[in-house]
A and B are shown apart, each in its own frame.
Chain A
Amino acid sequence: MLNTEARTAQPGLLGGPIGLGYAFVERQTNLWKRYWAWELVWLVYGVVNTLAITFIAEEAENAGIAGADGAAGLVLFLLLGTLVWAYLSAVLDDISLVITWERWEGTIEHTLMAPVSRAVHLIGMSVFGVLHAIVRTLLIFAFAIPFFSVELGQADWFAAAVVIAVGSVSVAGLGILTGVLPLLYPERGTQMSFMLQAVVLLVSGVYYSVDVLPDWLRVFAYISPATYILDGIRGAIIDGRGVADLWDTLLALVAFGAVLVPGGIAVFAVAERWARKTGQLKRQG
C-alpha cells in the first residue's frame, strides 16, 4: 500500500538535516581519499608557497632593508598571512566548487533532485570545506615552521582558534556566494569565482597591511571578511591579544557571517530557480 504522506513527512533533526548534511561531508571525504594525489599536489604547493614568501623576510634582513627585530616580525607576519590564506582559499575552493564538482562528475541532476534542502546541502559542503582546510593548513604549518625561528611564546592560541571559528562562517557565506557563478554560467562561472578569490587576496592584507593600498582599493578591504580574520589572527599570535581584546574584530566577523550565510543561501536559491528555468541544471560535456 502506498503511503505518500509518510514518504513526504519531515524526519527529526538527527535523522533529518544533520544526517543529510553529513552525507555531503562523507561523500567529499571519500572523493578526497580517491583524489589523494591532487591533495598531495596542493599540500606541496602550499608548503612551497609558504616557504617562498616567508623567505622574503629573511632576504629583507640580509639585504639590510630591515633590522633583525623587524625581519623577525616580518617573518611571522608573512608566515601567518600565507597560512591564513592557505586556509581561506581551501575553504573558498571547496564551497565555491559545489556545483562545479557535480558538473565535472556528471552527477548534477541526481544530486540536485534529491530531497535535501539546498541550505543543508550547502552547509554540509561548508563543514567539509572547513575541516579539510584545517587539516591541510595544519600540515603546511607543521612542514614550514622548522624552517624559521619565530617567537610564539606570546601567542594566544585560544583567541586565534575563536577568530578562525567565527571567521570561517563568514568565509563559508562568501564561498556560497561565489558558488552561484558556476550555477549561472556553466562554462565560465568557475573561472569567475577564482577571479573573485584573487580580488579577496589582493584587498585583504594577506602579505602586507591594508594601509598600503590606494584609498579606492582600501574600501574593498573593509568589506572583505578575510581582512578581519587576518587582523584577528595576527593580533592573537603576534601581539598576544585575547578574546576580550579582539571583541571588535569578532563582532565584525559575526556580522559578516550573519549577513553572508543566509544571504548567500538566498542568492543561491534564486540562481537555482533561474537555472531550472533556463535548463542549466545539467551536466556539461
Chain B
Amino acid sequence: MATLAAQAIGLNKYFGGGFDYRRLVPWRRNGDGKHGPFQVLHDVSFEIRRGEIFGLLGANGSGKSTLVRIMSTLLLPDSGEARIFGMDVVEHSAQVRALINRVSADPSFFRNMSAVENLLFFGRVYGLSPAEIRQRLPGILERLGFEWERALEPMSHLSRGQQQKIAVARSFLTSPVLMLLDEPTTGLDPRSKRDVQAFVRQARAEHDSTILLTTHDMEEAELLCDRIAFIAGGRIVAEGTPLELRERVARGRPVAEITMEMVFMELTGKSIEEDEERDQEREEVMTHA
C-alpha cells in the first residue's frame, strides 16, 4: 500500500496565450501585453505522507488553488505529474475522484435547496445511499456545532459561517482518504473558524485521513499542519515542519520568538500582502484565457 498520499512532480501550468480574436483588430495586433501565456505553476514538487496535515501557504494568486484544482482532477497540468495514492490524476481521474473530497473558500451549494437536500445529492454522487447519509449526517453536524433544524432551511438563509460548516460536512460525509482544504476558514468569524479547525483535527485523528490545507493564515497553518510548504509566484520556496522552518531563519534568535509570518518574509523575500499584488495580473490573464 502506498505510504505517500499525494505527490506533485515537476508540475507546470500556464494560462492564456491561446487564440485571441482581439488581435485581429489592426491596432491591437500586438496585444496589450496582458494576454500572453502566464505561468502560474513553476516546476512544483512536493510529497504528502499518509495521515499528515500538509499546509501549503501562500498569498492569493500564488498558485495554491491551481494546485488544488489539479489534484481535484478539474485542471490538467501542462507538464509534470500529480499522483494520489500512486494514481496519476489525469490518467486515473475516475479512481482518484473516489478517494478525495474538497472544501473551497466559497461554500458552493445549490442556494435554494436545503442543506440536507444538498448533502443528499453530494453524498449520493459519491455512491452513498440516502440511509447512509442520514445516519452519518447528524453526528457530523453536531460536531461542527450546527443545529439540525437549520439544515432543513435553504442554504441562502444560512450565514457564511454556517454554509462553510455545511461545506466541511459535505466533504467529510464521504470519508475521503485525501481531503483538499482550500482556504476553508477564509471569511469565517473566530468561533466558526475554531469549530472548523477543531473538526479537521478530530476528523484526521479518527478517520486516518490525509489533509492538504491551503491557507494564507500563518497561525492556522502552524496550529494544524505537520509540515508546511511556502508557495510564492507559483514556486515552492521552502518546505519543512513548522519548527524546522523557524529554525532555518532563526540565526541565533530564540526559535520561540520567530513567527511564521517572519519565516514567510525571510524565505520569500516579501510579505504575504506584497505577494498578493501578483494576483491582479494573474486574474486578468485568467479572465481572458
- Chain A interface residues toward B at CB < 8 A: 1-2, 4, 7-8, 11, 15-16, 19-20, 22-24, 26-27, 30-31, 34-35, 105-107, 109-117, 273, 276-279, 281-283
User: What is the CA–CA distance of A117 and B50 in the complex, to the nearest angstrom?
Assistant: 27
**Partner of B112 from A7, A35, A109 at Cβ < 8 Å:** A35
A162 CB to closest chain B CB (Å) equals: 32
User: What is the CA–CA distance of A7 and B122 in the complex, to the nearest angstrom?
Assistant: 16
- What are some 28 contacts across the A-B interface (CB < 8 A)? A4-B2, A4-B99, A7-B98, A7-B99, A8-B95, A8-B98, A11-B127, A19-B124, A19-B127, A27-B113, A30-B110, A30-B113, A31-B113, A34-B112, A35-B112, A105-B110, A105-B111, A107-B108, A115-B97, A116-B125, A276-B74, A276-B76, A279-B69, A279-B286, A279-B289, A282-B69, A282-B74, A283-B106
Contact assessment for A105 and B109 in the assembled complex, using a CB-CB cutoff below 8 Å: yes
Contact assessment for A117 and B177 in the assembled complex, using a CB-CB cutoff below 8 Å: no
On whether A19 and B129 interact (CB within 8 A), knowing A1-B208, A4-B85, the answer reads: yes
Is B102 an interface residue when CB atoms closer than 8 A count as contact?
yes
User: What is the CA–CA distance of A8 and B176 in the complex, to the nearest angstrom?
Assistant: 11
**Partner of A278 from B18, B104, B109 at Cβ < 8 Å:** B18
Is B172 an interface residue when CB atoms closer than 8 A count as contact?
no
Contact assessment for B72 and A109 in the assembled complex, using a CB-CB cutoff below 8 Å: yes
Is B256 an interface residue when CB atoms closer than 8 A count as contact?
no
A268 CB to closest chain B CB (Å) equals: 15
Contact assessment for A278 and B1 in the assembled complex, using a CB-CB cutoff below 8 Å: no
Binary per-residue interface labels of chain B (177-210) against chain A in the complex, 1 for a CB within 8 Å, 0 otherwise: 1000000000000000000000000000000100
On whether A15 and B69 interact (CB within 8 A), knowing A31-B112, A34-B154, the answer reads: no
SS class, residues of chain A in contact with chain B: helix
**Partner of A115 from B74, B121, B127, B208 at Cβ < 8 Å:** B127
Counting residue pairs across A and B whose Cβ atoms lie within 8 Å, the total is 112
Contact assessment for A110 and B122 in the assembled complex, using a CB-CB cutoff below 8 Å: yes
Q: Which residue of A lies closest to B209 (CB)?
A: A2
Binary per-residue interface labels of chain B (62-99) against chain A in the complex, 1 for a CB within 8 Å, 0 otherwise: 00000001001111100000000100000000110111
Contact assessment for A2 and B1 in the assembled complex, using a CB-CB cutoff below 8 Å: yes
Contact assessment for B289 and A2 in the assembled complex, using a CB-CB cutoff below 8 Å: no
Is B276 an interface residue when CB atoms closer than 8 A count as contact?
no
Known pairs A106-B106, A115-B98, A276-B73 / 16 extra A-B pairs, C-beta < 8 Å = A2-B50, A4-B85, A16-B127, A27-B110, A35-B112, A105-B111, A107-B108, A109-B69, A109-B108, A113-B100, A113-B102, A276-B75, A279-B75, A279-B286, A282-B69, A283-B108
Is B117 an interface residue when CB atoms closer than 8 A count as contact?
yes
B93 CB to closest chain A CB (Å) equals: 9
Contact assessment for B97 and A23 in the assembled complex, using a CB-CB cutoff below 8 Å: no
User: What is the CA–CA distance of A106 and B107 in the complex, to the nearest angstrom?
Assistant: 9
**Partner of A114 from B15, B50, B110, B122 at Cβ < 8 Å:** B122
Chain B residues near A273 (CB, 8 Å)? 76
User: What is the CA–CA distance of A66 and B85 in the complex, to the nearest angstrom?
Assistant: 74
Is B120 an interface residue when CB atoms closer than 8 A count as contact?
yes
Contact assessment for B106 and A26 in the assembled complex, using a CB-CB cutoff below 8 Å: no
User: What is the CA–CA distance of A112 and B102 in the complex, to the nearest angstrom?
Assistant: 12
User: What is the CA–CA distance of A16 and B124 in the complex, to the nearest angstrom?
Assistant: 10
B219 CB to closest chain A CB (Å) equals: 27
Contact assessment for A112 and B110 in the assembled complex, using a CB-CB cutoff below 8 Å: no
